[in-house]
Structure 1
């Protein structure tokens, strides 16, 4: 029985080209090394003694830089190719992480965080576009899930190691490891994967057809982007307000917070690929899958209202994790499937920017609400926003049905 289950699990990972595995490996190395991010709000609040409002503004700089990087990465991937963007992004952001540890002023950190995110998040749309080149069409959704799995496995490893490093040598060690892993990842990529141009399918489309399908006039895609933005707002609470809540409400250490966050990555490693493969085989409607993912994510915040027992943190993490498993892989697939040939970079840039904007609003709004009204008000707001996203899912489904008629 166990052998059969293991065999089925392994089968979900078959059929990928070598380049996809290299992309997954460098993504894992990069994300495992990104240990600063889960502890950034704690570092700013407890080590540098900034106020909630100042931490919120630094997170706004984080998000604005991320938005700019996502836009540049998508636009330049269409113009000069994803390969060059990936190499530049990881190598330069690695060097910038080394410098960031020496900046301690409020305005210096706003500028430093903005710059490093503008460079590092050029990588995100570029890697999405690379999957369109290196992944077989029939494996594209699973390839997206494999990259997400690498991200989450890295996040499962990173916070635990990060918590131990903080206890051992302090926050300075995290910045050195972050920078080193970015540079290591891109060296492996450059040595292992040769640049490959996108197939020139765009030549089949006239200029008029391309303009008609511009992303800025695609109403259905903009409704989808709002859904992505809202679900990302809920997700980013894991890295902004929840670590502070763990300590202030329940007295958890950085290591204990790292263990709790690692539940997210471990569960995704175990369950996302089998769930995605099963739903793909059944050809389940992607918008419906996203809908039920948001139901679980919104429920996780309503669960946090029962705050008399520390175990509620684990239950809330389970709900938001399984919500993420349903919502995010199929959101990725919807976005890249919606893009016309020749505009993949632009579509994926806007998709990545919706996450960056969510990071700005999620962190600033969440921290301001906590500062003025407390954690309970923030959990109520996040759960309610999830309910709004559900209504937009219903609208999106109707728009898609109207396109078919």
Structure 2
């Protein structure tokens, strides 16, 4: 037991102080993101929107995410990550507090779009900041630490969110989310002064390449879009499935979503350190993540027992634990070919596009063809994601110079 504990602690050693501050700021921010997992339930129960309308609202969520991620990358390259992060956190807090006062379909669509556009300017800036404050050999673990903070917030958030709904109603969620964003902005201004922080890896490229002309990177981005579409079902259509098909209430759903964060908190950092100690390529590990995610949906169609929901959640959790750190590290490595803000913005945009199509498509499909057929389609999308990752692996293989291999012809 002591050996296991020591290995767990050692997984965190060597990371910079600034990365730890970024993780704490992320934890404070994400502790209030309990609005997001319950958003589909809030829209259908409190505001009485149809599932089809909720699908369109979630598409507005995704479009806002695309705009915010793109804008965040541009602003980051133009004015630096620090100013972008402070503005995003503070303005997002105000936007979430105001969002609860919107009641009509059109105003909710516009409000969700604006709120998420502001919120997601933070993401490319945070990636660049984390890269700057991490030694090259620590970047995957730094990404994992940030994800750990996100999921620790998600672990507590949904469970607390269920209690808040039971005692204060959905409006309490918006207040908590808004206040935690503002607190995160204030903390950031106190502890992460870029003039005093020690930058460990400030890579400069005098002839940067555009991310949009990097063909292998675009293959990677398309694979991430497909993975994101499937993954996001756990935060939009899946809560409806839990409630409608298995009779779970909001508190039960919160606990199940919290289980995801708890497993990540407990296992992800040691798992990533262990995987880094082996000679596995990032693409091979991403492929494993895709297989696990697809299996989490396939198993729901094979067993009707409600306990399978926990197994499905565990498979999905293991899949994201492998996919996200190594895909993020792959994007950071590739970003040294050009403007880091643009590369990391495109990585964020991949999941923003997933928000546009994933939530809406999932809602429309479950409404028209049922949950079981929807889960089958999601499984097939993960297969397509795996095909793209295999294509990416081939595209990145060193090209053999056939001319150099040809033997000279003796006349």
Q: With the length of structure 1 as denominator, give the TM-score of the two structures.
A: 0.96
Instruction: Choose the corresponding residue for 1:294, options 268, 290, 309.
Output: 290
User: Whose radius of gyration is greater, 1 or 2?
Assistant: 2
What root-mean-square deviation, in Å, do the aligned CA atoms of Structure 1 and Structure 2 show? 1.4
Structure 1 runs of 4+ with >4 Å offset: 196-201
Q: CA deviation at 1:404?
A: 7.9
Does the C-alpha gap of structure 1 residues 216 and 160 become closer, same or farther in structure 2, counting only changes over 3 Å?
Answer: same
Render the CA deviation track for 1:360-395: whole Å, top value 9, x for unaligned.
Answer: 111010000111111011100100000111111111
Query: Which deviates further from its counterpart, 353-362 or 300-309?
Result: 300-309
Gaps of 5+ in 1: none
Does the C-alpha gap of structure 1 residues 169 and 403 become closer, same or farther in structure 2, counting only changes over 3 Å?
Answer: farther
**2:30 equivalent to 1:31:** yes
The secondary structure found in structure 1 opposite 2:272 is helix
The secondary structure found in structure 2 opposite 1:10 is helix
1:367-378 superposed matches below 5 A? 367-378=363-374
Report if the CA contact (8 A) 2:292-2:316 is conserved. yes
1:35-46 superposed matches below 5 A? 35-46=34-45
Render the CA deviation track for 1:305-332: whole Å, top value 9, x for unaligned.
Answer: 1352110111100111101111111000
Q: CA deviation at 1:201?
A: 4.6
Q: Which residue of 2 aligns with 1:222?
A: 218
Does the C-alpha gap of structure 1 residues 404 and 4 become closer, same or farther in structure 2, counting only changes over 3 Å?
Answer: farther
The secondary structure found in structure 1 opposite 2:31 is helix
The secondary structure found in structure 1 opposite 2:177 is helix
Instruction: Choose the corresponding residue for 2:397, options 379, 398, 401.
Output: 401
Render the CA deviation track for 1:244-276: whole Å, top value 9, x for unaligned.
Answer: 001100111111001001111111111111111
Q: CA deviation at 1:283?
A: 3.4
Render the CA deviation track for 1:85-125: whole Å, top value 9, x for unaligned.
Answer: 00000000101111100101000000000000000000111
Q: Which residue of 2 aligns with 1:16?
A: 15
Q: CA deviation at 1:340?
A: 2.4
Report if the CA contact (8 A) 1:34-1:158 is conserved. yes
Structure 1 CA distance for aligned equivalents of residues 106 and 400 of structure 2: 51
Render the CA deviation track for 1:148-206: whole Å, top value 9, x for unaligned.
Answer: 1111111111000000000111001001000000001111111111125977753x62x
Structure 1 CA distance for aligned equivalents of residues 236 and 58 of structure 2: 9
Report if the CA contact (8 A) 2:132-2:202 is conserved. no
Q: Which residue of 2 aligns with 1:90?
A: 89
Gaps of 5+ in 2: 402-411
Structure 2 CA distance for aligned equivalents of residues 312 and 69 of structure 1: 37
Q: CA deviation at 1:35?
A: 1.1
Q: Which residue of 2 aligns with 1:187?
A: 186
Q: CA deviation at 1:137?
A: 1.7
Report if the CA contact (8 A) 1:78-1:342 is conserved. no
Structure 2 CA distance for aligned equivalents of residues 269 and 122 of structure 1: 26
Q: Which residue of 2 aligns with 1:388?
A: 384
Query: Which deviates further from its counterpart, 395-404 or 119-128?
Result: 395-404
Report if the CA contact (8 A) 2:211-2:338 is conserved. no
Does the C-alpha gap of structure 1 residues 404 and 80 become closer, same or farther in structure 2, counting only changes over 3 Å?
Answer: farther
Q: Which residue of 1 aligns with 2:352?
A: 356
Report if the CA contact (8 A) 1:28-1:154 is conserved. yes
Q: Which residue of 2 aligns with 1:64?
A: 63
Render the CA deviation track for 1:272-323: whole Å, top value 9, x for unaligned.
Answer: 1111111112231110000011001001110111352110111100111101
Instruction: Choose the corresponding residue for 2:314, options 297, 309, 318.
Output: 318
**2:216 equivalent to 1:256:** no
Report if the CA contact (8 A) 2:210-2:338 is conserved. no
Instruction: Choose the corresponding residue for 2:227, options 220, 227, 231.
Output: 231
**2:336 equivalent to 1:340:** yes
Report if the CA contact (8 A) 2:23-2:145 is conserved. yes
Render the CA deviation track for 1:3-31: whole Å, top value 9, x for unaligned.
Answer: 11101100000111111111000101111
Instruction: Choose the corresponding residue for 1:268, options 246, 264, 274.
Output: 264
Q: Which residue of 1 aligns with 2:78?
A: 79
Structure 1 CA distance for aligned equivalents of residues 171 and 59 of structure 2: 23
Query: Which deviates further from its counterpart, 278-287 or 149-158?
Result: 278-287
Q: Which residue of 1 aligns with 2:405?
A: none
Report if the CA contact (8 A) 1:306-1:312 is conserved. no
Aligned length: 398
Structure 2 CA distance for aligned equivalents of residues 306 and 260 of structure 1: 20
Does the C-alpha gap of structure 1 residues 369 and 194 become closer, same or farther in structure 2, counting only changes over 3 Å?
Answer: same
